[in-house]
Each structure stands twice: as structure tokens, then as C-alpha cells.
Amino acid sequence: MKKQINILTYFSFILLFHTISFAGERIQVLDEAIKAMQPFTCEFSQEYYDAFQDKKAISKGRLSFMQPGLMKWNYETPEEMLFIIGREKIWLYDPLLENVTIQELSHGSGIRSLRFLSGDEQLNLLFKETVPKKLLVSSNTNDMVITLTPKKKNQALAELQLVFDLTGNKLVEFVLIDYNFNYRKIVLSETKPDFSLKESDFQFLVTEDIEVIEGINN
């Protein structure tokens, strides 16, 4: 009887070991795929869910992306807004109010939720794979679907769900979920390589007629 228990324990350990190893391999595959992403432009649809009010808000626009984690989110509907993540600064421009909020990238706590796209750190140092409480993404047969949680607690991010097209080497969809169960779901479409992008495209030019607001708590 004791021998039988030992055998069961052994096989349980082996099964657990292979499960952990497989999870690590999946994160490594995703990490390499993200690092290999070429500059691109695409359309995006964002669904923000407010758990407290049980309400959803939809916005759409265009995204430009270039490694290492340079992003330009040009919101077109329902209201125009420009959100740029550069190497050192973050800009949030409101064309209606004609003001721009500027913050150091290192001080943007909410931006840490997007660190998985930066390509400057290994994903397995930032995240671990987990089972989703509720899967909010959809996928095709050849897509990698993976759910990650930060190894270091981040108040803005409790869970990250990703859909990555490994064949086309492009991000398809991702969901950022916080500890209050609010989430931001982003679906990318019409993704096209854009080798005309350069680092200066991810900077905001402040003119005299634009009011500057220094710092914001993201």
C-alpha cells in the first residue's frame, strides 16, 4: 500500500513538473514573438467595463506601434484623443480642450499594464501563467491564447489575457483586468507592417496655443 502511494506521488510530481515546464515554454514563445514584432499600424476597438456600475463604453481608433514599446493611440470615436507612449515620456492630448498632459514614463503606474509589449524585459520575469477566472477573449485555431498574472503586485493589473497569431506574428487581442474586476478589452484589426515609422513619430510637439499640464496619476 505504501509503495502504491509512493508511485502515485511520483507520477503526480512528474505531471506537475511537465505542467510548469509547458507553461514556461509558452511564455518564452510569446516573449520571443513579441520581441520579433515589426513596426505596424492597425485599427483598434476598445471595450471598457466598469464593474461597479455594470456599464460598458466602446471607443475606436488607430494604433501605431514600434519596439521598444513605442505606441500612439489615436482615439477617433466617441471623442478624439491622442495618447502617446514614448521612450521617456507619456503625452495625453485633448484636441477639444487644447491641452496636453505630460508625465515621465517611469511615473506612469497605469502604463505598467502595457509592459508586456515593451520587449525590453523577459516576460517570465514579469508574469506567470495562470487559469483565467473568466475568459474574455476569442481566438482562431492557430492563435496562442494565454492568461498571465504579474509576479509583482500591480494595482492596475490583476490579470492579462492575450491572443497572439503566431503564424502572422501579430497581436490580435488582449484584456487588462484590475483587482476590482474592471477590464479594458482591446481588439486589433487591419494590422499592416509600417516601416516608415520612426522614433520621432512617438513624440508630441507642443505648440504655443496648447496648455501644458505636468504630471497625471495614471
Q: Which CATH number is 166's domain given?
A: 2.50.20.10
Residue 95, in any domain of the structure: no
What domain count does the chain have?
Answer: 1
Is the residue at 188 inside a domain? yes
pLDDT of the residue at 19: 37
What pLDDT, on the 0 to 100 scale, is given for residue 23? 53
- Asked if residue 98 belongs to a domain, the reply is no
- Average confidence (pLDDT) over 14-23: 38
Residue 92 placed within a domain? no
- Determine the structural domain holding residue 76 and report its residue range: 2-82+105-195
Residue 173, domain member (yes or no): yes
pLDDT of residue 110: 59
pLDDT of 16 higher than 60: no
Mean pLDDT computed over every residue of the chain: 86
- Please give the average per-residue pLDDT across 176-204, as a whole number: 96
Global confidence as pTM:
0.83
- How does residue 108 score in pLDDT terms, banded at 50, 70 and 90? low
Q: Is the peptide bond before 78 cis (omega within 30 degrees of 0)?
A: yes
What pLDDT does 122 receive? 87
Confidence (pLDDT) at 94 = 96
- The secondary structure of 68-135 as a DSSP string is TTEEEEEEEESS-EEEEE-SSEEEEEETTTTEEEEEEGGG-GGGGGGGGGT-SS-HHHHEEE---SS-
Tell me the per-residue pLDDT of 124-160, one tens digit each, with 9 for 90 and over. Answer: 999 999 999 899 998 887 899 999 999 988 778 999 9
Residue 169 lies in a domain: yes
For residue 214, tell me if it sits in a domain.
Answer: no
Structural domain contains residue 211: no
109 pLDDT higher than 70: no
More confidently predicted of 145 and 106: 145
Residue 121's pLDDT is what?
78
